[in-house]
Amino acid sequence: MKHTGFFGQWGGAFIPEILHQTFAELTIALRQAQDDPKFWQEYLELMSSYSCRPTPLTFAENLTKHFGGAKIYIKREDLNHTGAHKANNVMGQGLLVKRMGKKRVIAETGAGQHGMATATMAAKFGLECTIYMGEVVVLRQRPNVFWMEKMGATVIPVQDGSKTLKDAINEAFRDWVTNVDSTHYVLGTACGPAPFPEMVSWFQSIIGTEAREQILARHGKLPARVYACVGGGSNAMGIFQGFLDNDEVQLVGVEAGGKGLSTGMHASRLCGQDASPGVAQGYKTMFLQNSDGQMLETHSVAAGLDYVGVSPILSDLAEKGRVRFESATDDEVMTALDLTMRMEGIIPALESTHGFVQAFKEAPELSPDEAIIINQSGRGDKDIFTIAHAFNDPSWKQFIIARAREYSK
Ligand SMILES: Cc1ncc(COP(=O)(O)O)c(C=O)c1O
């Protein structure tokens, strides 16, 4: 994928003058890396020795029997180092940073997974690291914050706006404008000004390349459908790229339906009626915004999907009808998570479980000769507080109370 920065009418780089030179340098570094086969080789070696690539494609035999339709396969991005697909992007950008000779990285993080991955990369490559995280999310994802700090990163809770991902992105851009010479901004998803959407998608394409080879080897033909959750869109872009040129493979992106699309408490940009085209945070896409262009508040049980914008590449693929977009509510996510844990012994992240919800709705309507793939973007361990609370688990509550007593002594 080599682009000018626009995908149909979407994308672009609407950036302040002061960042032009930096973006130009980044684009040149990216092009040089793309034209140098040794770069991708180095990337593959790093991902197989530091992360767990290739990640397996797991046949979910019990879920398949339960639904009685298509064979359900799960692409296990949760088995990456730090527990999510975020490592693919971060390690790739880390290699670019080394080539560019910068000494400091900054990043925003939603669920904390991208921050965790960036902190590990910075520790490994000896870079100074600052992570911006909405204050709301710092409270929701304390364990990730703890580990980031232990790995030497400075975590800054962002108190502006809704104190979620979009505010963390704004703050990271503010930092970058002040420190352009020393610093690279490791953007965590396929959003933002060019070349980020293309660059992040390129690193994540490793998911789709592997998944395609694995399903052909296991099932003998391409899958009927591929499902992925969509926050900013990087894990979806990652797996979809393995199948984009095969129109017979339906690609399904699943957004956060939150409390329901009619409640206004969701983060569905490409399905539902609440989003409209706009330019913000340096790029043009479908944003959840009011008629004055002010960003709306979003809601999802999954912090990583709680974002107002979406990849411009996905806005384009939606407009072209190549990717179908659906949404899953918080309640549906909890039910699907419960079933997956019990039947397969797998704990998907709340973000990833959105993809499972839609796959479970559609698997029974397909024949057993067909296969579907769900991209499990991450593991659910980080969500233990949210999940235990949602399941209203009494012994967990007792554990928390006992711990709180211990600490307040
Ligand atoms: C496990 C997991 N899945 C999915 C996402 C959503 O991001 P994206 O749409 O870029 O894959 C996040 C974001 O934090 C995440 O942590």
pLDDT digits (tens, 9 = 90+) for 283-341: 999 999 999 999 999 999 998 999 999 999 999 999 999 999 999 999 999 999 999 99
- DSSP code at position 350: H
Q: What is the pLDDT of residue 142?
A: 86
Which range among 162-176, 222-236, 253-267, 340-354 shows the weakest confidence by mean pLDDT? Answer: 162-176
Distance from the CA of 114 to the center of ligand 1, in angstroms?
8
Q: What is the pLDDT of residue 342?
A: 98
Statement: residue 1 has pLDDT above 70 = no
Report the pLDDT averaged over residues 243-253.
99
3-state helix, strand, coil in the chain (%, to 5): 50, 20, 30
Element (H, E) at 227: strand 225-229
Distance from the CA of 353 to the center of ligand 1, in angstroms?
11
Q: What is the pLDDT of residue 70?
A: 98
Q: What is the pLDDT of residue 103?
A: 97
Report the pLDDT averaged over residues 230-234.
98
Q: Are 140 and 385 in contact (CB under 8 A)?
A: yes
| Range 52-83+199-390: architecture per CATH | 3-Layer(aba) Sandwich (3.40)
Convert the pLDDT of each residue in 61-81 to its tens digit. 999 999 999 999 999 999 999
Q: Are 85 and 126 in contact (CB under 8 A)?
A: no
Q: Does the bond joining 157 to the residue before it have cis omega, within 30 degrees of 0?
A: no
| Residue-by-residue DSSP string for 119-161 | HHHHHHHT-EEEEEEEHHHHHHTHHHHHHHHHTTPEEEEE-ST
**377 catalytically annotated:** yes
Q: Tell which wins on pLDDT, 135 or 34.
A: 34
Task: Reduce the DSSP state of residue 280 to 3 states and report it.
Answer: strand
Q: What is the CATH number of domain 6-48+85-196?
A: 3.40.50.1100
Q: Tell which wins on pLDDT, 165 or 257.
A: 257
Element (H, E) at 313: helix 312-319
Pull the structure tokens for residue 303: 């912090």
Cβ of 85: how many Cβ atoms within 10 Å? 34
Task: Give span(s): CATH 3.40.50.1100, the chain.
Answer: 6-48+85-196, 52-83+199-390
pLDDT band at 143 (very low <50, low <70, confident <90, very high): confident
Q: Please give the Cα distance from 355 to 336 (Å, whole number).
A: 10
Distance from the CA of 69 to the center of ligand 1, in angstroms?
28
Report the pLDDT averaged over residues 15-20.
93
Q: Please give the Cα distance from 356 to 229 (Å, whole number).
A: 8
Report the pLDDT averaged over residues 165-187.
94
Report the pLDDT averaged over residues 211-224.
98
Only one residue has tokens 């290699």, namely: 95
Q: What is the pLDDT of residue 162?
A: 81
Statement: residue 45 has pLDDT above 90 = yes
| Of residues 14, 87, 78, the one with CA closest to residue 49 | 87
- Ligand 1 atom having least distance to the Cα of 235: 11
**Residue from 86, 102, 166, 382 carrying the catalytic annotation:** 86
Q: Please give the Cα distance from 280 to 276 (Å, whole number).
A: 12
What's the pTM value of the predicted model, to 2 decimals? 0.96
Q: Does the bond joining 54 to the residue before it have cis omega, within 30 degrees of 0?
A: yes
Q: In this structure, is the dihedral angle defined by the CA atoms of residues 351, 353, 355 and 357, taken in order, positive or negative?
A: negative
Task: For residue 286, list its beta bridge partners.
Answer: 277
Spacing of C-alpha 383 from chain mean position: 15
Spacing of C-alpha 275 from chain mean position: 20
Pull the structure tokens for residue 143: 């364990």
Instruction: Let me know how long the chain is.
Output: 409
Task: Reduce the DSSP state of residue 46 to 3 states and report it.
Answer: helix
Report the pLDDT averaged over residues 211-232.
98
Q: What is the pLDDT of residue 140?
A: 74
Q: What is the pLDDT of residue 89?
A: 98
Q: Please give the Cα distance from 54 to 79 (Å, whole number).
A: 10
Statement: residue 2 has pLDDT above 70 = no
Q: Whose CA is nearest to atom 4 of ligand 1?
A: 351
Q: What is the pLDDT of residue 165?
A: 85
Convert the pLDDT of each residue in 369-394 to its tens digit. 999 999 999 999 989 999 999 999 99
Convert the pLDDT of each residue in 82-95 to its tens digit. 999 999 999 999 99
Report the pLDDT averaged over residues 21-33.
96
- Ligand 1 atom having least distance to the Cα of 230: 9
Q: What is the pLDDT of residue 139?
A: 83
| Of residues 75, 107, 112, the one with CA closest to residue 209 | 75
Mean confidence (pLDDT) of the chain: 96
**86 catalytically annotated:** yes
Report the pLDDT averaged over residues 347-362.
98
Q: Which residues line ligand 1 (CB under 6 A)?
A: 84, 110-111, 113-114, 189, 229-236, 304-305, 349, 351-352, 377-378
